[in-house]
Amino acid sequence: MTNVKSISRTLIVDAALLATTCLIPALSHLLAFPLYKLNPMLLVLMGGMMLVDSRWNAYLMALLVPFVTCLVVGMPTVSGAFCIALEFATVVTVVSLAAPRAGRRFWTLLALALGAILAGKVVYYTAKWLIVRPDQLVTTSPLVQVVSVLAIAALFAFVVSRRRSS
Contact status, residue 120 vs residue 88, Cβ threshold 8 Å: yes
CA distances from 65 to 16, 113, 156 (A): 11, 19, 18
**DSSP letter, residue 121:** H
Give me the pLDDT at residue 111, please.
Answer: 96
Give me the pLDDT at residue 154, please.
Answer: 96
pLDDT single digits (tens) 17-51: 888 888 887 787 788 778 878 888 999 999 999 98
pTM: 0.89
Does residue 2 register a pLDDT over 70?
no
Higher pLDDT, 6 or 62: 62
Contact status, residue 13 vs residue 61, Cβ threshold 8 Å: no
Cα–Cα distance measured from residue 138 to residue 136, given in angstroms and rounded to the nearest whole number: 6
Does residue 1 register a pLDDT over 80?
no
Cα–Cα distance measured from residue 101 to residue 97, given in angstroms and rounded to the nearest whole number: 8
Through-space distance between the first and last CA atoms of the chain, rounded to whole angstroms: 24
Give me the pLDDT at residue 166, please.
Answer: 77
Q: Which CATH number fits domain 2-165: 1.20.120, 1.10.1760, 1.10.3470, 1.10.540?
A: 1.10.1760
Could you tell me which of 149, 35, 3 has the C-alpha nearest to residue 11?
3
Does residue 16 register a pLDDT over 70?
yes
- Burial (CB < 10 A; 0-12, 13-18, 19+), residue 59, is middle
Could you tell me which of 139, 153, 40, 151 has the C-alpha nearest to residue 91?
153
For the chain, the structural domain boundaries read 2-165
pLDDT single digits (tens) 107-164: 999 999 999 999 999 999 999 888 877 676 777 788 988 999 999 999 999 999 998 8
Cα–Cα distance measured from residue 133 to residue 126, given in angstroms and rounded to the nearest whole number: 11
Cα–Cα distance measured from residue 49 to residue 92, given in angstroms and rounded to the nearest whole number: 8
Q: In angstroms, what is the C-alpha Rg of the chain?
A: 16
pLDDT single digits (tens) 56-84: 999 999 999 999 989 988 888 899 999 99
Cα–Cα distance measured from residue 42 to residue 62, given in angstroms and rounded to the nearest whole number: 9
